[in-house]
Amino acid sequence: MTRDLARNERILLLLSALLLATAIFLPLWKIEIWAPQYPEGLTMRIGAGEITGNVDQINILNHYIGMKKIASSDIPELRVLPWVMSALAALGAAAAAFGRRRVALAWLSVFAAAGAIGFFDFFLWGYDYGHNLSPDAPIKIPGLSYQPPLIGHKLILNIHSYSLPDWGSYLLLAAFAAAALGIFGRPLFGDKMSRAARAGETKWPRATRGTGSLFSLALAAISLALASVACTPKPEPIVAGEDRCERCHMTISDRRFAAEVVTEKGRVLKYDSIGCLLHHHAEKPAADRVWVVDHFHPETMLPAKDARFLVGSGIAGPMGPGPIAAGDAEALKTLAKTKSKGEVVDWASVPSSP
């Protein structure tokens, strides 16, 4: 049998099939919800065959707005999805073994179509749950739907909802990219590669040998970087006059005293003062999860581990006296001498209860 895919191209197809098969065992999507009664947030993960996470607590919240109960057994697509992904992985491995470009391209087209159909079905699932509400719900607001976002953030009443890809989806993207590189990557390697493939060579020509491995490594690095960025909690700008304090629920009016905490699940909790932040948590949050506004440069936010704090000064913020943060310890000491008493300390020395 004459193959028109070189060995390294077929290896990329096989890698794609393996990544696709691995994604079956990982969550594909996650929906995260934060409500006042759940400050750390609730997470629901959707995988091939099951929904896991804080499903019971989310169903309790959904009950108040009339949304029907979320259960894996009630969603037929979840029962079919493992079989679909297994079949796609097997067909990808077969295309790699067969070694014909047209066959591989047909498989990649089916892969893309299955992904598009799955994404559209996810939209329909969210639409159904968000719009078909019970008329006997305790909370009813005419004209308001509770459909979660397809991707990104949505605020519904006082509930924040985030919908984001999970590890399985990143593997699927990497699988698709690997397959596309195996099928369409040859033009990147010039005429020598084309002549070699037509001649039935199973190795890369000397001028391009190793390039396939380089691209495979680059693909893996990009996939890991995307996953890392997606999973790394980041702070958000504090908007005075719009954002509300998580503890006292007052609108943040003076950025100079504001602060925020990025939880382990990635939620950003904003506070109108460091004092409110400390009062809101039973234990003082770790320094790498706290961000504070520089009192002398309100447009700048600092990680608490890099900031210095003026405590015991008596300077009143929006909620009364409390710690003041800045990046310049000397400026804080000058403020303490000229306008008040107090001591400049690092985050570890800030009292847990201001």
For residue range 200-255, list pLDDT tens digits in order: 444 444 434 444 444 555 455 445 545 544 455 567 889 888 898 988 889 999 99
Domain identity same for 120 and 162: yes
pLDDT of residue 184: 87
Residues with Cβ within 8 Å of residue 344, at least 6 apart in sequence: 308, 309, 310, 329, 332, 333, 336
Q: What is the rounded average pLDDT of the residues 256-272?
A: 86
Instruction: Give a yes or no: residue 237 inside a domain.
Output: no
Q: How many domains does the chain have?
A: 2
Angle at Cα 164 formed by Cα 162 and Cα 166, nearest 5°?
135
Q: Supply the pTM of this predicted model.
A: 0.60
Instruction: Give a yes or no: residue 193 inside a domain.
Output: yes
128 vs 143, higher pLDDT: 128
Instruction: Give a yes or no: residue 1 inside a domain.
Output: no
**Which range in 162-171, 279-288, 335-344 is most confidently predicted, on average pLDDT?**
162-171
Q: How far is CA 274 from CA 36, 83, 122, 240, 292, in A?
A: 19, 52, 40, 15, 8
Instruction: Give a yes or no: residue 293 inside a domain.
Output: yes
Strand order, beta sheet including 297-303: 268-271, 259-262, 290-294, 297-303
Q: What is the rounded average pLDDT of the residues 166-172?
A: 93
Structural domain for 317, as ranges = 255-349
Instruction: Give a yes or no: residue 222 inside a domain.
Output: yes
Residues of the chain above pLDDT 90, percent? 44
Give the integer Cα–Cα distance in Å for 192 and 209: 11
